[in-house]
């Protein structure tokens, strides 16, 4: 059968490789504690689960791509409380099936090869879906490295005029997976100005805005002028709802209108019972506060260990991860392999992009008890 050459050229999704390595170690009799992938393992709040069950009807027809008005209203109210912005639920918000599908397909609505708008920029190390979405849309992917000495922000001054003019989408992701860095509002302001000047979309993936430790991070939704700006958020991490698949895109009404035109073809509206559960999830902050407190306790356990062991923490400001420098003279992969032999699965920074070499990522997803066990093991290994 014919297969898309883009698909054939794809390397294995990094986490598939990671899970294969863990399975090999488990087969040899070692219990593996999985700090690899960022999939929360906490139970979803009972109120949200009840709303899902209550949302089940005798007959569930096709969900409309624009989503339930109640859900768009709940998202607008949440954004109002959290970021102090007034979003119009009718024109500035569209619900998505989690963020991943919306991130993947976004290049298809923004890239215009005929007009020379052929480039999708994104930062690395990072979430692999920006690049993959660009490739499947036959766009030119442009990876911008994130360096510690630059606060893990991309160096906008290093981009030349010809590149700016070819840009269709510029992806940013703060709080950042994997570096845990947070972007100041001034960064979004500058990039949004560039987006208007060179006519590209500033696409801000904000999956982790709710997982913070000291100060709530800013959002590109707070920009006074959201022309050419699209913000992606999700209940996956905020409300431990990865399996529900519920998120949204909000921002420039022209972008939202384009999404509303595109999405019915793809059939990517969340099931209505998921949308009803999502109304409850966006409307409640107490479960999010409990989630933050839990991650803060796990984070404190590891920060304390790494300080004692002199292992440098390069990022820990927000998200559910810790970004750590591997000891001098070792590679990311070599160090992660060594930890895996002792039953601790982490993501080598190099799996997440070339600039991730020299680091590893620890996802704080195992239970507190498992984290305590991992600390005991690392106490011996490090
Ligand atoms: C940076 C980033 N963006 C988006 C997502 C997608 O999350 P979801 O599709 O569950 O909303 C993830 C998931 O790990 C992520 O790390």
Give residue 269's pLDDT band: very low, low, confident or very high (50, 70, 90). Answer: confident
- pLDDT over 80 (residue 233): yes
Q: 247 in ligand 1 pocket by Cβ < 6 Å?
A: yes
Q: How far apart are CA 101 and CA 120, in angstroms?
A: 16
Handedness of CA 377, 380, 381, 382 (dihedral sign): positive
Ligand 1 neighbour 299 (Cβ under 6 A): no
pLDDT in tens, 128-146: 999 999 999 999 999 999 9
pLDDT of residue 21: 86
204 pocket-lining for ligand 1 (C-beta < 6 Å): no
Cβ atoms of 316 and 212 within 8 Å: the answer is: no
**Global pTM value:** 0.96
d(CA 23, CA 377): 19
Distance 233 CA to ligand 1 centre (A): 9
Kindly give the distance from the C-alpha atom of residue 363 to the centroid of ligand 1, in angstroms, as a whole number.
13
pLDDT of residue 226: 98
Q: What is the mean pLDDT of residues 251-258?
A: 98
Helices (H), the chain: 5-9, 14-27, 46-54, 69-83, 100-110, 129-136, 161-166, 185-198, 235-238, 253-266, 272-282, 286-308, 332-341, 368-381
Q: Is the pLDDT of residue 170 over 90?
A: yes
Average pLDDT over residues 360-365: 97
Residue 171: both structure tokens together: 């992806």
Residue 136 corresponds to which tokens in the numbers above?
Answer: 């499947």
Per-residue confidence at 40, pLDDT binned at 50, 70, 90? Answer: confident
d(CA 309, ligand 1 centre) in Å = 31
Calculate mean pLDDT across residues 52-57.
96
Pocket test for ligand 1, best of 13, 127, 146 (most atoms within 8 A of CB): 127
Rounded to an integer, the average pLDDT of 155-174 is: 98
Question: Ligand 1: does its nearest atom lie under 6 Å from the Cβ of 176?
Answer: no
What integer is the mean pLDDT of 172-189? 98
- Mean pLDDT of the residues in the chain: 96
Angle at which helices 46-54 and 272-282 pack, to 10 degrees? 150
Ligand 1 atom with the shortest distance to the CA of 127:
1
Q: What is the pLDDT of residue 267?
A: 85
Decide: 236 in ligand 1 pocket, CB within 6 A. Answer: yes
pLDDT at 198: 98
Give the pLDDT score at 37: 87
Give the pLDDT confidence of 41-50 residue by residue, as tens digits: 889 999 999 9
Q: Is the CB of 99 under 6 A from ligand 1?
A: yes
pLDDT at position 14 over 80: no
pLDDT confidence band for 15 (50 / 70 / 90)? confident
Report the pLDDT value the prediction gives residue 255, as an integer from 0 to 100: 98
The predicted structure's pLDDT at residue 39:
86
Compute the distance from residue 8 Cα to the ligand 1 centre, in Å. Answer: 24
Q: Distance between CA 310 and CA 373 in Å, rounded?
A: 20
Distance 207 CA to ligand 1 centre (A): 6
Question: What mean pLDDT do residues 216-223 have?
Answer: 98
Q: State whether the beta carbon of 96 lies less than 6 angstroms from ligand 1.
A: no
Angstrom distance (rounded) from CA 54 to CA 70: 15
- Ligand 1: which of 234, 235, 238, 320 to mutate, judged by most atoms within 8 Å of the beta carbon? 234
Average pLDDT over residues 167-187: 98
């Amino acid at each position: 059968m014919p297969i898309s050459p883009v698909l054939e050229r794809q390397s294995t999704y990094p986490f598939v490789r990671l899970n294969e390595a863990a399975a090999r170690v488990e087969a040899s009799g070692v219990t593996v504690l999985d700090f690899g992938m960022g999939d929360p393992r906490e139970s979803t709040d009972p109120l949200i689960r009840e709303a899902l069950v209550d949302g089940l009807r005798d007959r569930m027809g096709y969900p409309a791509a624009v989503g339930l008005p109640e859900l768009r209203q709940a998202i607008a109210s949440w954004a109002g409380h959290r970021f102090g912005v007034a979003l119009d639920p009718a024109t500035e918000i569209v619900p998505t099936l989690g963020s991943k599908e919306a991130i993947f397909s976004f290049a298809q609505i923004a890239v215009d090869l005929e007009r020379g708008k052929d480039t999708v920029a994104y930062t690395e190390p990072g979430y692999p879906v920006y690049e993959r979405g660009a490739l499947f849309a036959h766009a030119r992917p442009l990876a911008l490295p994130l360096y510690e000495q630059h606060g893990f922000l991309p160096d906008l001054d290093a981009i030349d005029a010809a590149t700016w003019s070819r840009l269709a989408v510029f992806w940013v992701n703060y709080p950042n997976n994997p570096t845990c860095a947070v972007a100041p509002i001034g960064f979004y302001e500058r990039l949004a100005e560039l987006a208007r000047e060179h006519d590209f979309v500033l696409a801000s993936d904000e999956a982790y805005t709710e997982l913070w430790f000291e100060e709530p991070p800013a959002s590109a939704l707070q920009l006074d002028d959201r022309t050419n700006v699209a913000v992606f958020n999700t209940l996956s991490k905020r409300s431990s709802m990865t399996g529900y698949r519920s998120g949204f895109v909000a921002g420039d009404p022209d972008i939202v209108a384009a999404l509303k035109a595109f999405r019915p073809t793809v059939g990517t509206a969340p099931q209505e019972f998921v949308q009803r559960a999502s109304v409850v999830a966006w409307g409640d902050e107490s479960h999010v506060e409990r989630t933050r407190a839990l991650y803060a306790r796990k984070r404190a356990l590891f920060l304390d260990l790494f300080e004692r062991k002199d292992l440098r923490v390069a990022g820990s400001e927000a998200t559910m991860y810790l970004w750590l420098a591997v000891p001098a003279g070792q590679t990311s992969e070599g160090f992660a392999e060594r930890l895996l032999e002792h039953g601790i699965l982490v993501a080598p920074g190099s799996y997440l992009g070339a600039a991730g070499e020299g680091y590893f990522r620890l996802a704080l997803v195992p239970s507190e008890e498992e984290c305590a066990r991992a600390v005991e093991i690392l106490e011996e290994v490090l």
